[in-house]
Amino acid sequence: MKQFFKKLDLLYIKMDRAFDKAADHYGFQCNGCEDNCCKSFFYHHTFIEKDYLLSKANEFDYDRKISLKKSAALYLDTIKHKPLCPLNKDDLCILYNVRPMICRLHGIPHHLSMPGIETKQNPGCDAGASCFNSTNYFSFDRIPFYKEMTEIEKEYRKKVAVSGKIKQTIAHMLLDLSV
Ligand code: SF4
């Protein structure tokens, strides 16, 4: 699987660079807030991101994995109160290097540009609104990232022989930790 995870890593690096460039343009820094990715409710839709994240989470010792599973179960029990992502400990993501695409792209103003479809614009998070509104829009199209992710996911699915839809929160993923 290593070659697939390597490709994913390279895509993640591209995303992080693009995010940093845009954030620099706006003078924006994410300092955590009610709207940050760890407090927002997201589903993730790729097997490769789940498997990559779990491959790292499975390196934790037994007690930590049990504790993560408990946090994940609690998260799902209290989901309507928008709990903190179970991977966030003391305001830090404990699997920051392998956090999924949506965590990486969250917050910055962006658009979705697809042929034949009206371009969708997103203003970014509320915490950054004063930065984002005080300067011109930094062109940030998410579609090339989505496309590249789709290609990597397609190849990965063939390799591991999985099919169908996946729609999971981080908590759902953690319930599949091997303990
Ligand atoms: S995976 Fe990490 S960055 Fe993403 S929401 Fe959870 S704690 Fe935050």
Q: Which pLDDT tens digit goes with each residue over 47-90?
A: 999 999 999 999 999 999 999 999 999 999 999 888 999 999 98
Residue 103 lies in a domain: yes
**For residue range 25-54, what is the model confidence (pLDDT) as tens digits?**
999 998 877 778 888 889 999 999 999 999
Q: What is the pLDDT of residue 36?
A: 84
Residue 73 lies in a domain: yes
Which stretch of 80-84, 159-163, 168-172 has the lowest confidence by average pLDDT?
80-84
Alpha-carbon gap, residue 89 to 85, rounded angstroms:
9
Alpha-carbon gap, residue 31 to 125, rounded angstroms:
12
In the chain, the number of structural domains is 1
Residue 179 lies in a domain: no
Residue 138 lies in a domain: yes
Q: What is the pLDDT of residue 46?
A: 98
The closest of 11, 22, 9, 7 to 108, measured between CA atoms, is 22
Residue 144 lies in a domain: yes
Please name every residue paired with 121 in a beta bridge, in sequence order, or none if there are none: 111
Residue 148 lies in a domain: yes
| Residues 6+ positions from 133 with CB-CB distance below 8 Å | none
| Percentage above 90 pLDDT, the chain | 87
Q: Which domain holds residue 16?
A: 2-174
99 lines ligand 1 (CB under 6 A): yes
Residue 102 lies in a domain: yes
37 lines ligand 1 (CB under 6 A): yes
Tell me what the mean pLDDT of segment 14-31 comes to.
95
| Of 19, 95, 125, 168, best ligand 1 pocket probe by most atoms within 8 Å of the beta carbon | 95
